[in-house]
Structure 1
Amino acid sequence: MDDFRTSELGAFLRARREQLPPAEPSEGAPPSRRRTPGTRRSEVAARAKISVEWYTRLEQGRGGHPSTQVLDTICDALQLQPGEREHAFLLAYGSGGVLYEDLSASAQSHLQRLVDQLAPWPAYIKSPSWDVLVWNTPAARVLTDYAALAPAERNVLRILFLHADSRRRIKDWEGEAKRTVATFRTELVRWGDRSARATTLIRELTQASEEFRTIWKLNEVGQLGEGEKTLLLHDGTFATMRYESLSLDAYRGLGLVTYTPDQP
């Protein structure tokens, strides 16, 4: 396992441990003082039947390559949910395949036809690092006028954290911010995106946005999936829409996001 994955796995396990409530003290035992939140490393190691020393090195990025069986027991000990467990295994063992680099003219044209055919409902296609690559006219009208932005700025996270208008236009901005960052982290690992553009995005958002920096440190994972979002429209009214996020098998790592009315 390379140094990057080792470090990221250790940070993720530590974050999940610190979110796990500490074990209840046994009856009659004196209360203990804790210097850090959550469950102790010794408690996790005992549940996973591994040494505290080795588990400590693993969290510190010095533990080497855990076997699938050992990692499975650690996930059990940390009470990880299915998505979190998948994330831990992807951090440990990586993701195969090659991501797209740049869309060819024919691919761009094909994907543009795809989102155009979904009108009158907003739709766009994004990369694992949430660059908006293709969008239709309703998306530009309801979500963001992507054509008015420089290509490097057509990124959902940049818009969400660096454009002040997004806080006004998204009713539950805080919830949307946490959900988007959790999905972003998951997709970078799932698709093995270690591109310079993804690294630069994380660095610049960390430097420019205190909100992003705080949420990123939580080391949470998730997926966009489907749900509802309430947006302020240009006429001053709010509209609640259902969104769906779908993977495009023909374009590894790309995702289609669509919006439809909440009520038929």
Structure 2
Amino acid sequence: MSELGEFLKAKRAAVSPEEVGLPAVGNPRRVPGLRREEVAMLAAVSVDHYTRLEQGRVSAASENLLAGIARALRLTQEEHEYLRMLVQVRPRSGRSEEPEVGAPVRDLLAAMTAPALVLGPRTDILAWNAGAAALFFDFAEVPVAQRALVRMVFLEPRIRGLFVHWEQVAAEAVDRLRMAAARTPGDPRLAQLVGELSVHDKDFRRWWAGHGVRTLAGGRKRLRHRVVGELELDWQVLQVLTAKDQTLVTYTAPAGSLSHEALRILCSWQADAPVRRPGAIDLDR
């Protein structure tokens, strides 16, 4: 079954008839949640048309149709956008190239005292500053092919052990990776990343099978740092408008907080020991 079909099936299973005002008839039901005909009725579309959509036999769909399905399945705004991408974005083939980080963005990273990273579409860490090396570690120590942030959350002990609420951080990372997969269909490197994580981590397999989706935005995380102890940091994502599919992720602490002072001390120590090739991009991929 296609990703679209798996997604719609998972979302159907997550909605009970009672939640949408339908009688729970036909017990025991052959499928959990809603049947295809019930989704079709709620979305005001024929059962045949909805079935063909779920089976990947519809090449395009109107916004009204997708909005009706989103209402029927009680999709979030992010899930609705994900549905649009699955239906309307056509797979692309060929080698996927990583965008290069421009000199102005590198200069911005170097000038920032707060930890900051530039991420590519697969969460590949393309560039970083001394503050990020202080908070995490010098990513130049990791081979380029293994430098995806979502991979490190699961398979790099120095990252995995840093987060106090690791399960929440990891589950959200999986949801964002699935959204990235919809934006870049047919990307062989992303498929390889998903395959590697599926083989090596049962939690990743479970969350990936859940078909959750999330956009990269911001929030607050608690970290347990090996040098300065516990930190409570705000992270936010800024789009790099001069480059496609690049985002700048920054980590800060509320002014006057203990975390703010600890982060300041941590970054000042790192400033005295420059990161090896700070913000470097390896072109030998």
Call closer, same or farther: CA 1:110–1:170 in 2, change over 3 Å: same
- Among candidates 111, 114, 117, match of residue 108 of structure 2: 114
The residue aligned with 1:123 is: 116
1:51 aligned onto 2:51? no
**Using the alignment, how far apart are the partners of 1:13 and 1:234 within structure 2?**
43
Contact 2:99 2:120 in 1 (8 A): no
Name the SS of the counterpart of 2:248 in structure 1.
strand
Counterpart secondary structure, 2:226? coil
- Give deviations 1:159-180, integer Å, cap 9, x for gaps: 1111234332111111001111
Partner Cα separation in structure 2 for residue 252 and residue 83 of structure 1: 20
1:30-49 matches, within 5 Å, as 32-49=27-44
Q: 1:17 deviation in Å?
A: 1.5
Distance of 2:17 and 2:247 partners within structure 1: 38
What CA distance in whole angstroms lies between the structure 1 residues aligned with 2:32 and 2:255?
A: 43
Structure-1 residue corresponding to 2:181: 188
Q: Distance in 2 between matches of 1:217 and 1:103?
A: 29
Amino acid paired to 2:187? S
Quick one: structure 1 residues 186 and 154, their matched pair in 2 at CA, closer, same or farther if it must change by over 3 Å? same
With the length of structure 1 as denominator, give the TM-score of the two structures.
Answer: 0.85
Which structure 2 residues correspond to residues 72-111 of structure 1 after superposition, within 5 A? 72-94=67-89, 101-104=97-100, 107-111=101-105
Query: Is residue 22 from structure 1 mapped to residue 17 from structure 2 by the alignment?
Result: yes
Return closer, same or farther for 1:112/1:193 CA change in 2, 3 Å cut-off: farther
3-state SS of paired residue (2:186): coil
Aligned residues: 252
Tell me the amino acid that sits aligned with residue 66 of structure 2: L
Deviations 1:231-258, CA, capped at 9 Å, x for gaps: 1112261101000011111111111100
Relative to structure 1, is the Cα distance of residues 101 and 114 closer, same or farther in structure 2, using a 3 angstrom cutoff?
farther
**Contact between 1:111 and 1:134, CA under 8 Å: does it hold in 2?**
no
| Cross-structure match for 2:216 | 224
CA contact (8 A) 1:48 1:73 kept: yes
Does the 8 Å CA contact 2:139/2:147 hold for their aligned counterparts? yes
% identical equivalent positions = 33
8 Å CA contact 1:181, 1:215 repeated in 2? yes
Match of 2:270 in 1: none
Aligned CA-pair RMSD: 2.6
Structure 2 gap ranges (5+):
257-285
1:8 counterpart residue number: 3
Write the distance in 1 (CA, Å) between the matches of 2:228 and 2:138.
17
The aligned counterpart of 1:170 is: 163
AA in 2 matched with 1:116: A
Give TM-score scaled by structure 2 length.
0.79
Q: 1:101 to 1:137 in 2, by over 3 A?
A: same
Residue type at the aligned position of 2:157: A
Please report how far the alpha carbon of residue 68 of structure 1 lies from its aligned counterpart in structure 2 after TM superposition.
Answer: 2.8
Structure 1 residue runs of 4 or more that deviate by more than 4 Å after TM superposition: none
The 5-angstrom pairing of residues 128-207 of structure 1 reads 128-190=121-183, 192=184, 194-207=186-199
Structure 2 CA distance, aligned partners of 1:73 and 1:25? 16
